[in-house]
Amino acid sequence: MGSENWKTKKVLMFCVAPAELETKMNITKGGLVLFSANSNSSCMELSKKIAERLGVEMGKVQVYQEPNRETRVQIQESVRGKDVFIIQTVSKDVNTTIMELLIMVYACKTSCAKSIIGVIPYFPYSKQCKMRKRGSIVSKLLASMMCKAGLTHLITMDLHQKEIQGFFNIPVDNLRASPFLLQYIQEEVMTMTRIGIGHQGADAQWKSCRDVHREMAPQTWLELGCIPDYRNAVIVAKSPASAKRAQSFAERLRLGIAVIHGEAQDAESDLVDGRHSPPMVRSVAAIHPSLEIPMLIPKEKPPITVVGDVGGRIAIIVDDIIDDVDSFLAAAETLKERGAYKIFVMATHGLLSSDAPRLIEESAIDEGSIVVPPPRAVHMALGPALTGAAWGPVRNSKAEQGAEGLLEPRFLEQSVVPGKRGASRGRVVVTNTIPHEIQKLQCPKIKTVDISMILSEAIRRIHNGESMSYLFRNIGLDD
């Protein structure tokens, strides 16, 4: 291929490294120990994938519960003077998960570990980060407990509120999922297909989604699981509170934005600080007969309104957490009524509590995605610095841009056989930041995609003493 095709450009998509290069990362020094703090099979699976990419063995540790439900942890190898990374995913039993982590951190601290880094993709109790009435800021309490137990560094992803980082007195790396979500929109909503089998060298034929669409029948597109009209999409915020996140996605994808306002937004009681409950008005008048404080007029929700045009478009709802799905279902129904013909839901963490799988299966949501990073997506988000791999060509010149002026990069991928992808295509795409095995059995729309690569890269950089700034390139405050 011509050397001009290999020039570096800032694009939202780029090429994938060969499989043999992306599986192992460069650990320049010894003294790294990797533990899984949860006996849960999903946590063990994620930990093993990270260990495999780093080229290290999993540390030997035994985590179990006594008959009286007390958690016991036994470290079965030396950690003295070593960098210990403890991976913990949040299961349904959140409190047991937290105790497992705290006890293991403290065990490593008392065993003279050099540093103890927690890898917690979803930080539990992150929703309880504000004072509400006579409640408490539980995420601050949990942060203090982790630091007191001996944690020296934290790696997490998409905190519910970025200000939670300030609750810790240790370094916190809040990794972002937005590059992967953007990659999913571009790759799955507008699939780029390579014609031919395997990598066929410089003369291999590449075709964009638009080109393949001209040659394929509509039924073939359905079999491939592809949507040929990516630029006909609109990014949707299900409430004004998530408008900034939606705006960031829309600006990066050069798409329009719509905001749902009205009955679908969160209840006012959840947003009120209310740290000092006021006494009854009658008692105030009795104590201070001359005191007259103007009272706020009670809010009244307007009828549900969609600000923006979604008629005849693909609606992509973006948020950070999918837990109580009622608000997403209401938003999906509203968008269907306003003329959206396909609906995606995209978020970082899929808690999917209670009967969420059943509700999603019966809803108007066509696809939900909760971070979609296939192994090559992290390469696309972070670039060749991960492994030093060679990258495929990217269309850079203005002549090669689409009619709307958007770049159409080409990435290496094996051929897509009609019918293959359509058979295995999931409706709700989630990451393994949180286990979803049971939910997947209950709802065929749920699909899990691996995010172990970016966690592996963060671990590698911290252990080697390298800068973490590369993992936060082009990430704004709203991402």
Q: What is the pLDDT of residues 26-50, one digit of tens each?
A: 776 679 999 998 766 767 888 999 9
Average confidence score pLDDT of the chain: 73
Sorted by sequence, the CB contacts under 8 Å of residue 226 that are 6+ apart come out as: 188, 190, 191, 193, 209, 421
Give pTM, 2 decimals.
Answer: 0.73
Residue 190 tokens read as 């507008």
The identity of residue 200, as a single letter, is Q
At 140, the pLDDT band (50, 70, 90 cuts) reads very high
Residues 324, 360, 181: CA angle, nearest 5 degrees: 80
The CATH class of 179-265+303-450 is alpha beta
At 399, the pLDDT band (50, 70, 90 cuts) reads very low
Q: Are the C-beta atoms of residues 138 and 438 closer than 8 Å to each other?
A: no
At 414, the pLDDT band (50, 70, 90 cuts) reads very low
**How much is the pLDDT for 108?**
97
Q: What is the pLDDT of residues 437-479, one digit of tens each?
A: 788 778 877 767 678 889 999 999 999 999 999 999 888 776 7
C-alpha dihedral over 451, 453, 454, 458, to 10 degrees?
140
Q: Which residues pair with 86 in a beta bridge?
A: 35, 118
Q: Which residues pair with 306 in a beta bridge?
A: 260
Q: What is the pLDDT of residues 249-301, one digit of tens each?
A: 999 989 999 999 886 444 444 444 545 455 555 554 455 566 677 877 887 77
Sorted by sequence, the CB contacts under 8 Å of residue 119 that are 6+ apart come out as: 50, 85, 86, 87, 88, 155, 455, 458, 459
The identity of residue 3, as a single letter, is S
Residue with tokens 């990362």: 25
Please name which of 245, 234, 244 lies closest in space to residue 189, comparing C-alpha atoms: 234
Write the CA distances from 54 to 24, 67, 448, 453, integer angstroms: 5, 36, 22, 9
CATH architecture of 18-175: 3-Layer(aba) Sandwich (3.40)
Domain range summary for the chain, segments of one domain joined by +: 18-175, 179-265+303-450
Residues 192, 195, 196: CA angle, nearest 5 degrees: 140
CATH topology of 18-175 equal to that of 179-265+303-450? yes
Distance CA 45, CA 450 (A): 10
- Position 365 pLDDT exceeds 70: yes
